[in-house]
Amino acid sequence: MVNHAMLMDFYEATMANGAILNGHDDTIAYFDMFFRRVPDSGGFAIMAGLEQLIKELKNFKFSKEDIEYMRKQKIFDDKFLKYLEEFKFTCDVWAVPEGTPIFPREPIVTLRGPITQLFLIETLVLLNINHQSLIATKANRIVRAAQGRSVLEFGARRAHGADASVCGARAAYIGGCRGTSCVKAGKDFDIPVSGTMAHSWIQLFDNEYESFKAYAEVYKEKSLFLVDTYDTLKSGIPNVIKVADEVLKPLGCRPLGIRIDSGDITYLSKRARKMLDDAGYPDCAICVSNSLDEYLIRDMLMQGAKVDIFGVGERLITASSEAVFGGVYKLTGVEDNGGNIVPRIKLSENTSKITLPGFKQSWRLFDRESGKAIADVITLHDEVIDDTKEYEIFDPEFTWKRKVVKDYIARPLQVPIFKAGELVYKSPCATAIRDYREQQVESLWEEVQRFEKPHKYYVDLSQKLWDMHHEMISKVSK
């Protein structure tokens, strides 16, 4: 794996250098990564990217070339350059497992360790979780719009670079896509791969029939034909039926499907379905593509489109409707000489940017009978929600809105990932994460899953954390 230690914002290095020169190189600090709003005004997001973050932190080190480059900047002290030369990751890390539905404000990654280390890894934490969580969230929206039909990720050629293509395909699979067209992603993450033909295959031959015939002779029952090169209804589908009758049927095979990549896909899919059914091929699947997203898919199905498979490319792999996840990385506390945690807070005229202080844990409360998620609660790290007892939750903004929860199960959201720099967590395979995500999304009420104006899922604070938060705001703002 390529070492990305130098993939940082320059201020991360200047702060680490300054911390060392001010005697703070051994100061133990706490940072949270969280996000402030769900992309596309959705009801929830999907956590992803942890496996890649783990690999980055395990391999985090500086080469001689890296240190020489930093020396040439002529602002870094020799003590700092020596520190980089001897760097060893020794932090504790907790994180929400991949595939978990996540909500604004709650910590999704928490880190504890020497502040110099935590300064230097900020960009790697953010870019890995931000990117894949964005794509997994978009993919899940698209998959839900497809109402049980297959969705395949087709975006490699439109992704913003190689890493975005490969890791984006992984995130899309976690979000619910059934496969990818990206061969490297399939190889690296054991994701099902699929693909058919491009228009260039058809143009290679003298006519469309000959191209379909040649393809069928090679791929037999796995043949899926692109039918819109010349004319979908007058040429493409008639030629598929002819090849199915003359080539595949004598071999004891049937066509796997057709793909429509242009035109009024809803109309064409209806006509195609009837033509294929009338020809005796009701099992021939119809796959469609061409700049699809959740809204187009939803509308097509509402209009009666006869589609079995959606191939979704650019609008998924780039999350084009809202291309930033917006996760942030904030200091929440430091330890004094006695090892006591001293909370820290950031204030802002924009109240949504005020941070939650202290070392925290997030809990999800599930109704014991239905299994549905009731709410999340952020507590201080030493608080435990005892689900054998009633628990009162309240809206952090409108505190008179309170509810006593009974007959529930309380589960902590974050799990240990690193302990003193040693990895203590085994990442599941992508398929296991995908299955877990499906089960976890099912635990959310349908109202939370709506695309337009979803029901607000509450992320509450414990009374102890709420008191600390408001006491610090009052104290710091004087």
End-to-end CA distance of the chain: 50
What is the CA angle 453-457-459, rounded to 5? Answer: 140
Q: What is the pLDDT of residue 1?
A: 65
Positive/negative CA dihedral, 28, 96, 33, 106 = negative
Q: What is the mean pLDDT of each run of 10 residues along the chain (478 residues)?
A: 90 97 94 97 98 97 96 97 97 98 97 98 98 98 97 95 96 98 97 94 97 97 97 98 98 97 97 98 96 96 97 96 95 95 90 92 97 97 96 93 96 98 97 98 97 94 96 83
Among all chains, which residue has been given the structure tokens 């898919």? Answer: 297
Residue 377: what pLDDT?
A: 98
For 140, 144, 226, 253, 263, the CA distances from 289, given in Å and listed in that order, are 17, 17, 10, 25, 10
CA 316 vs CA 38, 140, 169, 251, 264: distances in Å: 16, 10, 9, 38, 21
d(CA 169, CA 128): 14
Contacts of 294 (CB under 8 A, 6+ apart): 138, 141, 142, 144, 145, 451
Contact 455, 42 (CB under 8 A): no
Read off the amino acid at residue 335: E
- pLDDT confidence of residue 466: 96
- Helix ranges, 346-453 (H): 430-442
Q: DSSP states of 321-373 as a string?
A: TS----EEEEEEEEE-TTS-EEE-----SSGGGPPPPSSEEEEEEEETTT--E
Tell me the two tokens of residue 136.
């997994």
Beta bridge partners of 28: 114
pLDDT of 198 reads 95
Structural domains of the chain in order of their starting residue, each with its CATH number: 10-135+323-476 (3.20.140.10), 140-317 (3.20.20.70)
